[in-house]
Amino acid sequence: MKKAIYLFVLVLFFVQVNFSQNITKQSYEKAREVLDKAVAAYGGLENLRGIQNFTLRAVGETVQRNQSRKTFTADRTAYQIDVTVDMKNNRFVQIVKGGYPGGFSYHNGFAVDKTDGVTFDLVRNTFVVRPNIQAAAIRFRQRWIPQYWVLNAVERASRLRYAGKTEFDRRPHHAVSYANEDGAENTLYFDEKTGLLSKFEGLGSDRFFGDSVFEMIYPAYRTENGQPIPTGRISKINDELTEELRFEQLAFNTSLTDDKFKVPGGMKEVTFPAPQPFNKISETVYTVNAGGYNVLAVGFKDYVFVMEAPGGDQISRQAIEQIKKIFPDKPIRYIAVTHHHDDHAGGLRTYIAEGATVIAAPGEKTFFERIVKSKFTIEPDPLALNPKELKIETIQNGRRVLTDGTTTVEILDIGAGPHAEEMLVAYLPNEKMIFQGDLLNRPPNGDFPIANDTTVHFAKWIETKKLAVEKIIPVHGPVTTIDELRTAVKAKETAQK
């Protein structure tokens, strides 16, 4: 009897294994069928492999999902990118022009020749050498075109799986998934009728909202020189629009010269000094460098106050580690952020997991409550692993003072400005300093600061409040003096006349 049961279990085991193996193979075969149709739609495998380079100009708008003036809104700013990718010789160059709310504008480039890279600023006419660029940087630029995704899936065919038939944009599609060289699992949606790629998506972790779907959509195609050419690209996170671009130009296999991948003439090379782990301002006031950002840390008799939680969990953990070395045996009791943008508050959850109370502007309370409730199962952060309730205090009458009789910090709301409807600064009256984010920035090499609308608003606020300020500590870049702030504002006003 025992022998019969053993044989039955053994047979059942092999049937289950065989069944699962068949499912995997069937999934691959169905995915391969869909992919082969896509290859044909893009002119065949020989045509795809014959694309040695492409030149693209994309124009449209960036939707400021986590960079808008107000929480839960989406301001739009103009955006243009010119990309040339030489796949045959492992080279690329891109030039980007865009901005953020509040008069922020940028115009910069990035060029790579194999592993030799260089970034350049077309506003300041400077460049920085960037050695040892990883191959993933070139692959990232190749992903602008759908032809890349199709060919990449072919080259990694053993990882193909059929995800099912679905409807997208009111048309039937077949979904196929595979893992690329960077370890990312991507799902490609192919139009059942045309075989063309309509979108690709992947799962990842958003610094504010955790588990998220990231989508890149090709809304339509036109035929040019026998090639299907996408008319543009739309980006979404959790179905929220983040970018909407039209392709004004997309050309394959154009004639390229070496100069194309070099820094434009007339630019000055600059170097960025290696950041120090922390900067001591006084016995109780420090700034900590974490991920290239400055984080304010103030030690009181029984606790520590921190201002700014930039980037995400990893950067916050880096900052907290350094803060605990500076102020051992003192808990981080309070955390404040200058404003809700993700490069200033994206690591807030990590401080909440530490038990810190959030000091916030009144209009940010609901936003931070939503952040705390986000699910982080793909990349669990400290708050997901050690859940805590949000402790939050909103600033009343525009001012919150922390003091132990010796050290004092005034957290002030400077009011609605061009960059954010609510903006906090930390005023250190004993040190005659202000810690701020995005109100006045300067490059890491200490080059001159350039004022924008937000800077002008900040300067007028300081004058109105008659604060004794000698130095300004930025989240981005080195310390600036009050005289440099005034000079930058004056230069802007003169240029506008």
pLDDT digits (tens, 9 = 90+) for 201-220: 999 999 999 999 999 999 99
What's the pLDDT band for 9 if we cut at 50, 70, 90?
very low
Strand order in the sheet with 433-436: 399-403, 408-413, 424-428, 433-436, 471-474, 480-481
CB 407 within 8 Å of CB 281: no
Give mean pLDDT, residues 339-365: 97
**How far apart are the C-alpha atoms of 195 and 318, rounded to whole Å?**
47
CATH 3.60.15.10 boundaries in the chain: 278-496
Question: What topology is assigned to 278-496 in CATH?
Answer: Metallo-beta-lactamase; Chain A (3.60.15)
Beta strands 332-336 and 304-307 are parallel
User: In this predicted structure, what is the pLDDT of residue 497?
Assistant: 72
Given a cut of 70, is residue 260 above it in pLDDT?
yes
Residue indicated by tokens 């995997």: 24
Given a cut of 90, is residue 49 above it in pLDDT?
yes
Instruction: Specify the higher pLDDT residue, 100 or 10.
Output: 100
pTM of the model: 0.91
For 328, which DSSP code? T
Give mean pLDDT, residues 231-249: 97
Calculate what percentage of the chain has a pLDDT beyond 90.
91
Given a cut of 90, is residue 275 above it in pLDDT?
no
CATH 2.50.20.10 boundaries in the chain: 33-269
Average pLDDT, the chain: 94
Give mean pLDDT, residues 396-412: 97
Buried b (16+ CB within 10 A) or exposed e, 35-61: bebbbebbeeeebbeebebbbbbbbbb
What's the pLDDT band for 12 if we cut at 50, 70, 90?
very low
Give mean pLDDT, residues 319-341: 97
User: In this predicted structure, what is the pLDDT of residue 444?
Assistant: 85
User: In this predicted structure, what is the pLDDT of residue 11?
Assistant: 47
For 115, which DSSP code? T
Question: What topology is assigned to 33-269 in CATH?
Answer: outer membrane lipoprotein receptor (LolB), chain A (2.50.20)
Give mean pLDDT, residues 23-35: 96
User: In this predicted structure, what is the pLDDT of residue 21?
Assistant: 62
Distance of CA 349 to the CA centre of its chain: 17
User: In this predicted structure, what is the pLDDT of residue 274?
Assistant: 86
Q: List strand residue ranges (DSSP E) for 337-377, in order.
A: 357-360
User: In this predicted structure, what is the pLDDT of residue 18?
Assistant: 52
Cα→Cα distances 65→159, 178, 407, 483, Å: 33, 28, 37, 34
